Each structure stands twice: as structure tokens, then as C-alpha cells.
Copies of this chain bind each other. A is one copy, B any other.
């Protein structure tokens, strides 16, 4: 395979190796870093070679990425049993199982903090970084592919670097990256972003070529995003949010261009963003983590002016359509490091409207985003905390029930807290929207129960709250003896619903 135009640095032309050869550089005990953010721009050859080739039973590495990897890589690494520690995020079914068995340590981190923690000595030094590039430039710097994530920090921090040059990526992506090092204290400067479209950095990631131990060629596209079609419940949630934003405009608290939008991955976020296409809102911007299919539909509808994120993660059909004709979008997108996209500093300054998904919420507005029944990890907190804490409006969405109403997503007390009452302004289910701004906990409880809870659970939740007020009182009334009764019932009977046999709990 010819090295040009993908490999323009002379010194690196004789370092081309196979994925297996690259994997052989990774020794047991190492902290390994890989590019990749929400399945985009990840290592597609070396990590899989590592998973497939390692025979040594005692071989174990620690792995840090931007966020989730594609191509079943996390699953194969977990299956191979070669990970001791994984951070800061994952979405893999096999890996999740190993994490919850306790056979693989997982550190669930705010995605905006991982680079900060690495630079700050919370972890040992990175031994090897595996970074996907679309091109290496004459000076050794490289153009990333569909994500930046933590790649720039990994390139700077790692002792050794392996580059995967992915020839399947459209050359049109060159120029959309905005690489800005947040630096180390003391003496560092503000991140100078003042609007979603502020360009502050370079279009390639600087790299000390002396650290490069191998160049690996690949031509494998990113794993496609799952397609999540709207359903009546997600459409209802999207409708409530759009109505709410409409009222905010009417009351003069927002303009029709709103504030920069952030939306997590998934059906609801996609539904909301699609809803904007037919709305009164205009000249919208996004300051988010991930650009999904709906982002490009919003560009096409003329509603969206600009979008900033750490990655582009598209379905198969959109990958084909968008990347084959990227020109019209090129000046409207910046892909940046995740310690910039998720920087509290910038999110607070811009005043973002953040829409994230809850696993469960409680009557006071505390949110669990990560742990099923308080113990079992789902994916991780991701960037939801970075946005919820610092946004102008922090909105959490969930259906009011799941598993054919056997689970209420609004519970007396969440079994794990990722976002405290302080960081949750609005909760939305298909039942309705609870605007919690300016309310004390007892007021929040009444509004959440009234507006968001499924009718099958409303009476019991109201009863819990009222009895908690009478029996215990306090700023945040609870009956600790009963707070997790719904979860206990779910565990023993498969449903949170009270059966006749179970009767009333004694207090």
C-alpha cells in the first residue's frame, strides 16, 4: 500500500507494522490509551489483535479511552480477560457483565475530567497510546478521523504511540477538528470559547514522532450507530420539551434561537432534535458531545447554524450519505477534545440547554444515570454530569415506566445518585414535565408526582411522600425503612407494583 497521501512524514514511513506486531509492544501491566468516543474514531485493529492474540493467562492491562469503543472491541477485550481496569465509559454487554461480576474494575468518570485526572497524577503514566488518524502530515502531526475525544491528550501524555491510519475516512474531514490543549496548572489560561462556533485550536494533533513505535494501516469504517425510531412515548417526551421551550420564549427567558443544545445519545434525544425541524425555533446551535443523525437533519432543514462536539456517530445510512457529500457541512462543524466539549467552564459561560437520560429519578429530583437497582453498572455517567451541573437548563428525560409498567422510573428514593437535586432543573416523562426551578424539596416532590409519574404508581408515591412528611418530616422527608421497598419488590417478584398479598408496609 502506498503511504502517500495518508503518511506524509518521512521519518515515519519505515515504521509501518502489522496490527499483530503493534499489539506485541503492549506488555502486561501497562496503562494503554485508545482514541475513540461513542464508537467513532476508535482503534479498529490493534486492540482487537491484542484481544485475539494474548495466550498468557496472567496478562492484564489497564485501558483508558475517550468513551465507548465500536466493533465489539470492549466485548472481545473483556471476553479475553486481559483487562484489569477500564475507564471512563463503556456500553458493551459482555464488558458490563464482567464489571458487575467484579472480574474487571471499571471507573465511571465525568468524561470532561479524564484528561484532567491523567495529567494530575490520579493514574500512572500512559505507557502506550493507540490513536486513529486519517492522515499524518509532514511535521508528524496527525489529522484525527470522526472523533477527537482524548486523543490529543493521549498523544501528549503517552510514552509511546501507535497510529492506526484509516484510509476509509473521507479526506473532507480535514479542517473540522479544533485541537486545543487545556494545559496544566499553575499558570493556565481560560478556554477562550465564547460561542459554539469559536475556533480556538489547530486542525491536527501535534505528535513527537520519536514516540511512534508503529504505523498500522486499516480501512474499517466506524461501527454504525443503532437506529432509534421515535415511538409514542419518546414523541410525547419530545413534545413536552418543545412546549416548555416555547413557553420559555413566550415569557422572555429565551429567544427563538434558544441556547446551544446538548443532547445525549438515544431515542428521546433524537426525537427532540427531530422535533426542532418542524418548530418555530431558528438559528439553533449545538454545544454537545456527539453529533448524531438528527444533527444533520437539522442542518438540512436550515434550523441549525453550527454544531460543536467530540465525535460524529451516525447510522449506516447516514454514514454513507453524509460522509460521501460532506462539503455542505464542513464549515458548520467543529470536532474537539472532550475536555473542551465537556468543560464546565464553557458550558456555564455559553448557557447550554442540556437534555440527558435518567435510569431512575426520585421524588426530590435526584437522578440515577448508571446503576440498575443501585448495584449493577449499565454504561456510565458519561458527560451527563459535566452538562447537568453547568448548563443553564438541565433537563432529564425518562419514560415513566418500563417492562410493561412493572418498573416505575420515578421512585421514592433513587438507589444510586449521579446527579443531585442541585443539578436537575426539569424532569420529563411521557406523562408530563416537572419544572423544578425555584422549588424547595417538598414542592419538587408534589410537582414530580403530579406531572411525571405513571397513573399506576401515583397514589402509592403520593402516599409515601405524605406519610414521610407526617412520620419523619424534615427538609427532604423520607421513610428509610420503606425507601427501597419498590426495588425490593422488583427483585423478589419481578415488579415494583404492590400486590394484594404484600399489603401495606408497617412503619
Q: Which residues of A are interface residues toward B (Cβ below 8 A)?
A: 85, 99-102, 105-110, 113, 116-117, 120-124, 184-192, 194-195, 248, 251, 253, 259, 343-345, 348-351, 366, 370-371, 373-377, 381, 385, 389-390, 392, 415-418, 420-422, 425, 437-440, 442-443, 468-469, 472-478, 480-481, 483-484, 487-488, 491
* CB <8 Å contact, A381 and B473: no
Complex contact B375–A478 (CB within 8 A):
yes
- The answer to whether B185 touches A475 (Cβ under 8 A) is no
- Verify A476–B191 contact, CB threshold 8 A: no
Contact B473 A185 (CB under 8 A): no
Supply 9 further A-B pairs (C-beta < 8 A) apart from A186-B351, A343-B348, A417-B420. A100-B473, A102-B469, A102-B477, A110-B422, A344-B345, A344-B390, A375-B477, A381-B422, A418-B422
Contacts of A259 in B (CB 8 A): 185-186
Contact of A195 among B187, B194, B415, B442 (CB under 8 A): B187
Given A122-B425, A187-B195, A484:B480 Cβ within 8 A: yes
A345 / chain B contacts, CB cutoff of 8 Å:
190, 344-345, 348-349
26 contacts between A and B (CB under 8 A): A107-B440, A108-B422, A113-B422, A117-B437, A120-B351, A121-B253, A121-B437, A122-B438, A123-B437, A123-B438, A185-B259, A185-B349, A185-B351, A186-B195, A187-B194, A189-B194, A190-B194, A344-B348, A344-B389, A371-B475, A375-B468, A375-B472, A375-B473, A416-B476, A481-B488, A483-B484
The distance from the CB of A307 to the nearest CB of chain B, in whole angstroms, is 16
- Distance of A159 from chain B, by nearest CB (Å): 16
Say what secondary structure dominates the interface of chain A.
Answer: loop
Min distance, Cβ A298 to any Cβ of chain B, angstroms:
19
Q: How many copies altogether?
A: 2
Q: Which 10 pairs across A and B sit closest by C-beta, in order of nearness?
A: A375-B474, A190-B190, A185-B351, A377-B475, A105-B440, A417-B417, A345-B345, A122-B437, A121-B253, A376-B474
Inter-subunit contact A190/B109 (CB<8 Å): no
B109 touching A422, Cβ below 8 Å:
yes
Would B186 and A422 count as touching, CB distance under 8 A? no
B374 touches A480 (CB 8 A): yes
Contact: A440 with B488, CB < 8 Å?
no
Please indicate the chain B residues that have their CB under 8 angstroms from the CB of A102 in the complex: 442, 469, 473-474, 477
Residue of B nearest to A259 (CB): B185
Determine if A473 and B417 form an interchain contact, defined as CB atoms under 8 angstroms apart: no
